[in-house]
Structure 1
């Protein structure tokens, strides 16, 4: 499926539809292979001990996968997560942004399945792996 929203369009969409969190994330790459997005880590994302919290890592995966789907289907704000699984594999590096690399595994009319690998910026070993399924709402048919 062709790309219908590039990184700039996705960032504008996030700012318009999710202004409460849009400043914390940035979509940086959208191509045939997938999408890359980052969490701009702040004190709000840290848990005691100075590491990034699990909920913050999960939120990055969810947002990145959502954007990877929208990059193919367009700005469908009501596409929703129906299943998620995450494996936390290692502690993120202190003081670094987190980067999600997303690969779409299936994009159907009703469901999309994708995987995200989360890295500390510049790291080679993933911090977490997440797989998600999204429900895509049916296209609205305007009555004549």
Structure 2
């Protein structure tokens, strides 16, 4: 799937999704989250769940570049390290890539940055479960 196709797919399947797909290629994706006051926690920092949402969605987008519209793919593990406080009034950018694409499991990595800042604010590893082809086929028809 292309960046535009993934953007449309995410808007259709997850209408509340605040992400913008900036670019993607096979096994990689770059997403941007427009940070606003709803993403801030007390003290003015971007909340951990907001960064986890970006990591999970960026990983899913990378999977979509490789496998197409896998509607029933689910996160089985997400581990995140918060490296430093993100800038509260800058968008967040998540860059994902798939390290291993198996028949049933996909493992990937996501680095999150404050926009225009080269130093990462978080690092995540994610594992997704891909349903058997027979289940995917029944759902799509």
TM-score (norm 1): 0.90
For residue 38 of structure 1, the aligned residue among 25, 32, 39 is 32
> Which residues of 2 match residues 45-64 of structure 1 at below 5 A?
45-64=39-58
Alpha-carbon distance in structure 2 between the residues aligned to 1:12 and 1:50 = 32
| Match of residue 124 from structure 1 | 118
Deviation string for 1:58-98 (max 9, x for gaps)?
00000000110011101111100011110000000121000
Gaps of 5+ in 1: none
| Match of residue 106 from structure 1 | 100
Secondary structure at 1:127's aligned position in 2?
strand
Question: What's the offset of the Cα at 1:115?
Answer: 0.1
- The runs of at least 4 consecutive aligned structure 1 residues that moved more than 2 Å come to none
Alpha-carbon distance in structure 1 between the residues aligned to 2:73 and 2:5 = 17
| Match of residue 13 from structure 1 | 9
Secondary structure at 1:14's aligned position in 2?
helix
Query: Does residue 75 of structure 1 match 2:38?
Result: no
Question: What's the offset of the Cα at 1:33?
Answer: 6.2
RMSD value, Cα: 1.2
**Higher fraction of helix:** 2
TM-score (norm 2): 0.92
For residue 23 of structure 2, the aligned residue among 14, 18, 29 is 29
> How many residues were matched structurally?
136
